[in-house]
């Protein structure tokens, strides 16, 4: 890779971090937000749930609508919307306005993330594309698991306004970096909306979408309740749980780096093995989750596999519709958000009916079904057909 490509990918990685951190960062400060706006914690939770819903709804449509425009201009537009939304969130004392300031940028979220994956892949050779995308995924992981404690720390050390300002500052820095260092990227070959939507006529696309929904359900159906699991099953203290979450987050980033190499070396084999590897972790987790040291080791391995899983999800949908990369990445974002929603809901149901320890069965069931979808895609389509 050339130096300009390295700089471009770095900017995209920080950009994705800023976007994802705006979405996930408020999780750690929801009680403070509830106090700040004088609303209930459940109402404050709308800042998270409605954001995710907007992303899921706009995932396939917004990247498609903007697919023919200069990519640099589109990225600047999205970053600008996020900066404005962040600024409104800092200064408003009205919860409804704060909610609007969150939801409007959320509709633009899939555009930037979709473009980031596409531009990263296009900046290198076809063989090196998974490695480039895996670097951008570091920003996704950091936004999801590192941003939360950073924002929580700022809110506790300074104020809720300063925590909100962190979102604005990161997005503003990326806006300026994009403006100055990212070259103009006009779309050389504009695909019609019909041509892009035609990928939905292919059974390989739907097999891939369902597989990704199930794979993400397997990861987040269990991870969403990791804190509860560590508290009630492993009987860890609050400080130890914080350390475990940090270990998981760091391992997630390691997984992203490993995924780039695995998918470049043998993508299909990596996808086939993944459900079995994560399934083995969940089985051991069920059997030995009450012991602290095994749980710590499992959390590390689990985090690495989750990082690999995110890259596998993107690759699996992208490789089913390479002729329409922006739209395919939008479908990927919708699929993973649906998977997260379904997995978290199923996990909550298993916990309420059977107990916290049994949440791993959501992961195992999802992995079993995802393996069927992966098998069907591999059975019906040769590797050449899959990537053509």
Report CA torsion sign: 39, 41, 42, 45: positive
CA torsion 307-309-310-311 (nearest 10°) is 100
What tokens were used for 53? 């819903």
Cβ atoms of residues 343 and 224 within 8 Å: yes
Which is the CATH superfamily of the domain at 3-190?
A: MFS general substrate transporter like domains (1.20.1250.20)
Q: Where are the domains of the chain?
A: 3-190, 194-387
Lowest mean pLDDT among 70-74, 130-134, 195-199: 195-199
With cut-offs at 50, 70 and 90, classify the pLDDT of residue 290: very high
Predicted confidence (pLDDT) per residue in 15-46, tens digit: 999 999 998 888 778 878 889 999 987 788 88
Q: What is the mean pLDDT of residues 54-65?
A: 88
Range among 224-228, 273-277, 345-349 with highest mean pLDDT value: 273-277
- CA dist., res. 190 & res. 322, Å (int): 14
Q: What architecture is domain 194-387?
A: Up-down Bundle (1.20)
The encoded tokens of residue 23 equal: 């979405």
Residue 263: pLDDT over 70: yes
Q: Give the number of other CB atoms < 10 A from CB of residue 254.
A: 16
Cβ contacts of 192 within 8 Å, gap of 6 or more:
none
144: nearest Cα among 253, 282, 5: 253
Contact between 337 and 49 under an 8 Å Cβ cutoff? The reply is: no
- What is d(CA 375, CA 137) in angstroms, rounded to the nearest whole number? 26
Considering just the CA atoms, what is the radius of gyration of the chain in Å?
20
Answer for the pair 326, 118: CB distance below 8 angstroms, yes or no: yes
Residue 14 near residue 174 (C-beta atoms within 8 A): yes
Two domains, one topology: 3-190 and 194-387: yes
**Nearest CA-CA partner of 282 in 336, 343, 357, 340:** 357
Give the pLDDT confidence score for residue 3 in this predicted structure: 46
Query: Band of the pLDDT at 2, cuts 50, 70, 90?
Result: very low
pLDDT value for 386: 55
The answer to whether residue 385 scores a pLDDT higher than 70 is no
- HEC string for 68-92: CCCHHHHHHHHHHHHHHHHHHHHHC
Full DSSP string of 140-191: HHIIIIIHHHHHHHHHHHT-HHHHHHHHHHHHHHHHHHHHHHSPP---SSPP
Express each pLDDT in 89-104 by its tens digit. Answer: 999 999 999 999 999 9
For residue 302, which phi and psi values (nearest 5 degrees)? -60, -45
Residue 335 near residue 209, CB atoms below 8 Å: yes
Would you tell me how many other CB atoms lie within 10 Å of the CB of residue 313? Answer: 26
Predicted pLDDT of residue 223: 86
Q: How many residues does the chain have?
A: 388
């Amino acid at each position: 890779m050339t130096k300009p490509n390295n700089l471009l990918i770095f900017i995209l990685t920080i950009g994705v971090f800023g976007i994802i951190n705006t979405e996930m960062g408020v999780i750690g400060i929801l009680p403070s937000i509830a106090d700040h706006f004088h609303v209930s914690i459940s109402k404050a939770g709308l800042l998270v749930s409605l954001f995710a819903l907007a992303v899921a709804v706009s995932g396939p449509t917004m990247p498609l609508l903007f697919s023919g425009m200069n990519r640099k201009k589109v990225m600047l537009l999205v970053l600008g919307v996020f900066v404005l939304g962040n600024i409104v969130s800092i200064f408003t004392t009205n919860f409804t306005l704060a909610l609007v300031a969150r939801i409007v940028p959320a509709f633009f979220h899939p555009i930037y993330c979709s473009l980031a994956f596409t531009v990263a892949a296009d900046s290198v050779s076809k063989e090196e594309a998974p490695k480039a995308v895996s670097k951008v995924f570091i920003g996704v992981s950091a936004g999801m698991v590192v941003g939360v404690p950073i924002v929580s720390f700022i809110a506790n050390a300074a104020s809720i306004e300063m925590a909100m300002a962190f979102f604005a500052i990161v997005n503003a820095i990326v806006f300026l970096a994009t403006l100055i260092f990212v070259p103009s990227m006009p779309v050389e070959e504009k695909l019609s909306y019909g041509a892009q939507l035609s990928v939905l006529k292919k059974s390989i696309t739907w097999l891939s979408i369902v597989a990704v929904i199930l794979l993400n359900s397997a990861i987040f159906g269990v991870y969403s309740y990791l804190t509860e699991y560590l508290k009630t099953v492993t009987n860890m203290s609050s400080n130890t749980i914080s350390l475990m979450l940090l270990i998981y987050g760091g391992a997630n980033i390691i997984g992203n780096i490993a995924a780039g190499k695995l998918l470049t070396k043998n993508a299909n084999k990596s996808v086939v093995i993944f459900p079995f590897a994560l399934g083995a972790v969940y089985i051991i987790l069920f059997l030995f989750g009450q012991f602290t040291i095994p749980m710590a080791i499992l959390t590390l391995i689990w985090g690495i596999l989750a990082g690999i899983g995110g890259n596998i999800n993107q690759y699996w949908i992208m490789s089913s519709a390479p002729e329409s990369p922006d739209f395919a990445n939008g479908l990927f974002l919708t699929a993973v958000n649906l998977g997260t929603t379904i997995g978290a809901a199923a996990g909550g149901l298993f916990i309420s009916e059977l107990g916290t320890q049994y949440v791993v069965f959501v992961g195992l069931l999802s992995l079993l079904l995802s393996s069927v979808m992966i098998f069907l895609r591999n059975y019906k389509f040769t590797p050449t057909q899959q990537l053509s």
